[in-house]
Amino acid sequence: MKFHRISSFALLFSIIAGFGIVHAEVYSESEINDTSVPKFVRMCQRTINRLEENHARTPAETLRLNMCWKVMWNYVPEEPGEVSCHAKVRNPYIEMKHVERDGVRGNQFMYYNFRVRNQNSFLADLFRLSPELPPCGLNENSSRSWVGIYDGETDQRYYGFCALEHSDGLERLWFAIPLEDEQPKSFYMELEDRQCGKKYRSNTIEL
């Protein structure tokens, strides 16, 4: 698989590396020999995995994390193809769109609408219809990857999507909380690749 190598990436990486924003990460031999993904992208992926769930980050670590997210959401595969279980899949980066109040059959809800900013980095194969995998309720032809939405503090599951057929669906994600219930202070999403048994957690949005 080929990837875009835009000069701005190299410039950004040289800047963040020069300021020590990218922490030295330890790589396995297979990762070192993997030439399909630029080294700075692999470094940022490791940095994200290491720091995202650390709520006691220092200011320097927070800056490092934010800079690496910027690298990741701008890095897009050049060619479509099959996503194997050994492929390097990016963590989703989510951003808020809007919150609105609406009623359904006399019940009031707060709707939280958001999107995955780096949606174009997820190849179509991750969302192909997969009747060979367990069904989603009565839907026996749901997608390979499912989206789960969780509370950022308690990890309580709020909602999910199991029938996205393309990464375009990541542009229009949402969940709803009854108006009378306590509203979340933060949330995140996970993209679960059911074929490979892997989950990719997003950043956390504070509300």
The whole-number pLDDT of residue 180 equals: 94
The reply to whether 88 falls in a domain is: no
Residue 78 pLDDT > 60: no
Whole-number percent of the chain with pLDDT over 90: 48
Position 170 in a domain: yes
- Domain tally, the chain: 2
- What is the extent of the structural domain holding 141? 94-206
Q: Is 149 exposed, middle or buried (0-12, 13-18, 19+ CB in 10 A)?
A: buried
**pLDDT tens digit string along 131-178?**
999 999 999 999 999 999 999 999 999 999 999 988 999 999 999 999
Give the rounded percent of residues in the chain with a pLDDT score beyond 70.
Answer: 70
Does 25 have pLDDT greater than 60? Answer: no
Judge if 51 and 126 occupy the same domain.
no
Both 62 and 98 in a single domain? no
Is 79's pLDDT higher than 60? no
- The pLDDT of residue 28: 46
125 CA to centre of own chain: 16
For residues 100 and 56, membership in a common domain is answered with: no
Choosing from 73, 108, 131, the residue where a domain stops is 73
In a domain, 119, yes or no: yes
Q: What is the mean pLDDT of residues 177-199?
A: 96
| pLDDT (tens digit per residue) in 81-127 | 566 776 778 899 999 999 999 988 888 999 999 999 998 888 888 99
